[in-house]
Amino acid sequence: MNRRLPHLYLRNPFGVVNKFKKDRGIEKTDLIDQNPEAYRNHKQKLNGSFNQLLLDREKRLRSKTLINVNIDIVEIRFLIPFSNGVNFKTRTRFLNEFGLTAVMLEDFNRTVLFAVENQAKFNEFHRTLLKYINSSNQTSPKNTDYAIMTTIYDIKYHTADDIRNHCSDDLILELINNTAPIFQQYDHQKGALKERLEDLKRLGSLQDFKFDPYEKMVQLEGIESSQLNLLVNNFDILAQGHSLRSVAVRPNQYNQEELTWNLRIAPKNRSTTIGVIDNGIRRIQPIEAVILDEKLDITNTQDGHQAIHTHGTVVASLAAVGESFFSGDRNIEADAKIFSIKILEDLNGYIDVVSVVEAIRQANLVYGVRIFNLSVCAQSKRYNEAPSHFAYLLDKLSYELNILIFIAAGNMPYDDLQGMQAIPSQRHQYPFHFYNPPENEMELHNCVYTYPPDKHRL
């Protein structure tokens, strides 16, 4: 140590940074040359999607009765993040060349809602897309003016169903972002929307509504279904609805507090019966009305309506009402009644194969059940491994009794699905992703233990 300076200090040079360098640490890399034939299915998919977009646009324009100012909203799902990356400057090109201004970004900027701010430029987008679609399957799109189309996974028009999102009654409607290219149309539609909501409230078709302080969403309470349909069919600034359904505490028959879902699920007069083969189904509110009294149990409990785990109850709920649960309606008509066939006490344990087959036979011959769902499966089969004897017995039983058995294909992690979609390949498209090994070893799912969708996973 320097004797003249007993204490030394580290002093970094002073500097100023005026903006964040977005391309820091990102180096341009050469794109991997794909076999041109690999783009064939992608071209066909985009061609069909854009044709449907044109049809949906015409349908929406015809359904508008409340407002004469239109904003075309297009949803594009990208294979890469929507940004000015080093290889594809999608954000700049989509606005300057194709007249598409981003008004909402989701899925880490891979799903984008665009407003068409310039129809002539959007026509150029269509022409560029057609160049890609009609290009030779023996020529790579790399270094062409239509190469940017290879970044698109899918494209569609934003429809009223997309906006409503199965919601009704009480819901939140999210608004798209207001950008400079559509400012006048946006402002006009928002003003008309406020006037419409005031009129509905005055007429009693809407109990109440309120905007958040930033006017990025509007909350509707007690709106009539027909009036909600008019809103989502006319106002393009509405992005998506979100249900406000929640649990409620109400007195039961003994005047005790009870947690409920504050809705009623009732079977139709001629509902189909589904036999749910699982770990038992609890007769809880609100699905108790669709659970049949008859039941079968091959376990020691001898009670098909007793369940330690909620798996069977959840499966029964999905089979009975499906996505209708998220509609927000207080009264839901179930698509099916549920017949419980309990084969496990918990999700772990021994599956008595012979008894399961006999239980299905009894449910059909004695109780008339012809549709079954089996979501409890044994160990996964290896790639290209022959179906098990259990699968053979179920196939044979289906043929003999003329019944239908749905068997779960297993659960694939969401991250794996996202990762496969980011790598264009026919092997990653449904249903091929279930049983095709990846071209290279990737940090995705291990295909050794996957199975073809047309064979039982048993």
pLDDT at 142: 87
178: its two tokens: 């207001």
Judge if 135 and 197 occupy the same domain: no
* pLDDT, average across residues 143-152: 92
205: its two tokens: 């078709």
- Per-residue pLDDT band at 98 (split at 50, 70, 90): very high
Judge if 167 and 154 occupy the same domain: no
pLDDT at 160: 95
Q: Kindly tell me if the per-residue pLDDT of 454 is higher than 80.
A: no
pLDDT at 436: 55
- Better pLDDT: 177 or 245: 177
- Asked if the structure places residue 396 within a domain, the reply is no
409: its two tokens: 């294909």
Judge if 101 and 175 occupy the same domain: no
Q: Kindly tell me if the per-residue pLDDT of 452 is higher than 60.
A: no
Q: Give the pairing of strands 206-211 and 169-175.
A: unpaired
Per the prediction, the chain carries an average pLDDT of: 82
Where is average pLDDT lowest: 6-15, 171-180, 352-361, 377-386?
377-386
- Per-residue pLDDT band at 301 (split at 50, 70, 90): confident
Q: Which SS3 state, helix, strand or coil, does residue 102 take?
A: strand
Judge if 310 and 222 occupy the same domain: no
Stretch (H or E) spanning 225: helix 225-234
Q: Are 374 and 277 in contact (CB under 8 A)?
A: yes
Q: Kindly tell me if the per-residue pLDDT of 366 is higher than 60.
A: yes
Structural domain count, the chain:
3
Q: Are 238 and 228 in contact (CB under 8 A)?
A: no
- Asked if the structure places residue 253 within a domain, the reply is no
Side-chain-side CA neighbours of 278 within 13 Å: the count stands at: 29
pLDDT at 27: 56
Q: Kindly tell me if the per-residue pLDDT of 384 is higher than 60.
A: no
Query: Which percentage of the chain shows pLDDT scores above 70?
Result: 76
pLDDT at 254: 67
- Asked if the structure places residue 301 within a domain, the reply is yes
**What are the phi and psi torsion angles at 139 (to 5°)?**
-120, 130
Tell if the pTM clears 0.75, that is, is over it.
Answer: no
pLDDT at 447: 42
pLDDT at 255: 66
Q: What single string gives the DSSP state of each residue in 369-405? A: --EEEE----SPPPTTPPPPHHHHHHHHHHHHHT-EE
pLDDT at 430: 65
Digit-coded pLDDT (tens) for 177-229: 999 999 999 999 999 999 999 999 999 999 999 898 888 889 898 899 899 99
DSSP 84: B
* pLDDT, average across residues 399-423: 77
- Per-residue pLDDT band at 403 (split at 50, 70, 90): very high
- Asked if the structure places residue 438 within a domain, the reply is no
Q: Are 152 and 141 in contact (CB under 8 A)?
A: no
Where is average pLDDT lowest: 91-100, 370-379, 441-450?
441-450
- Asked if the structure places residue 447 within a domain, the reply is no
* pLDDT, average across residues 307-336: 83
Helix residue ranges per DSSP H, 64-138? 90-96, 119-133
* pLDDT, average across residues 414-424: 70
- Better pLDDT: 325 or 89: 89
Q: Is 362 exposed, middle or buried (0-12, 13-18, 19+ CB in 10 A)?
A: middle
- Asked if the structure places residue 89 within a domain, the reply is yes
User: CB neighbours (10 Å) of residue 101?
Assistant: 19
- Asked if the structure places residue 448 within a domain, the reply is no
Q: Which CATH number covers residue 203?
A: 3.30.70.1060
Q: Kindly tell me if the per-residue pLDDT of 70 is higher than 80.
A: yes
Q: Kindly tell me if the per-residue pLDDT of 381 is higher than 70.
A: no
User: Among 106, 140, 158, where does a domain finish?
Assistant: 158
Q: Kindly tell me if the per-residue pLDDT of 446 is higher than 50.
A: no
- Per-residue pLDDT band at 456 (split at 50, 70, 90): very low
- Better pLDDT: 271 or 401: 401
Judge if 225 and 277 occupy the same domain: no
Q: 395 to each of 33, 340, 344, 363, 404, how far by Cα in Å?
A: 45, 21, 21, 16, 9
Judge if 199 and 212 occupy the same domain: yes
Q: Which CATH number covers residue 372?
A: 3.40.50.200
- Better pLDDT: 46 or 349: 46
- Per-residue pLDDT band at 269 (split at 50, 70, 90): confident
pLDDT at 2: 52
Judge if 101 and 58 occupy the same domain: yes
Query: Which percentage of the chain shows pLDDT scores above 90?
Result: 46
Q: 221 to each of 105, 202, 207, how far by Cα in Å?
A: 27, 13, 6
- Better pLDDT: 361 or 456: 361
Q: Kindly tell me if the per-residue pLDDT of 166 is higher than 50.
A: yes
pLDDT at 51: 96
Judge if 328 and 340 occupy the same domain: yes
- Asked if the structure places residue 11 within a domain, the reply is no
- Per-residue pLDDT band at 34 (split at 50, 70, 90): confident
Judge if 174 and 61 occupy the same domain: no
Nearest to residue 205, comparing CAs of 182, 181, 221?
A: 221
User: Among 143, 158, 173, where does a domain finish?
Assistant: 158
- Per-residue pLDDT band at 265 (split at 50, 70, 90): confident
Q: Which domain holds residue 272?
A: 264-376
Judge if 46 and 94 occupy the same domain: yes
Q: Are 26 and 89 in contact (CB under 8 A)?
A: no
Judge if 363 and 272 occupy the same domain: yes
pLDDT at 448: 40
Judge if 153 and 46 occupy the same domain: yes
User: CB neighbours (10 Å) of residue 27?
Assistant: 6
User: Among 158, 192, 215, where does a domain finish?
Assistant: 158
Q: Give the pairing of strands 73-78 and 100-106.
A: unpaired
